[in-house]
Amino acid sequence: ASLPDFPNLTSLHCSPDNARAAASGYGRDILLYDLASACALELRRAVHECHINVIKFAHAQPHLLLTSSFDGS
């Protein structure tokens, strides 16, 4: 099975337990995937005012998702 497409992908990161993946692109949205089922779990829209540069799961606290953008937030 293949994961649903994420347009203009610029960053993809797997959770420390390899259960989920997080994607961001040249846009303001993020998408969480379930890797076992190859399904999209959750789409969050407009999480930043500018495009998202990087998305990652926090290593020490893997339930946290970190993003960066040039919008200063």
Rounded distance, CA 23 to CA 46, Å? 14
Mapping DSSP onto H, E and C, the string for the chain reads CCCCCCCCEEEEEECCCCCEEEEEECCCCEEEEECCCCEEEEEECCCCCCCEEEEEECCCCCCCEEEEECCCC
pLDDT recorded at residue 1: 59
What's the pTM? 0.86
In this prediction, residue 32 carries a pLDDT of: 95
Q: What is the pLDDT of residue 34?
A: 94
pLDDT value of residue 35? 93
Tell me what pLDDT residue 2 has.
Answer: 72
The pLDDT value given to residue 62:
86
Those residues of the chain that have pLDDT short of 50 are none
pLDDT at 65: 93
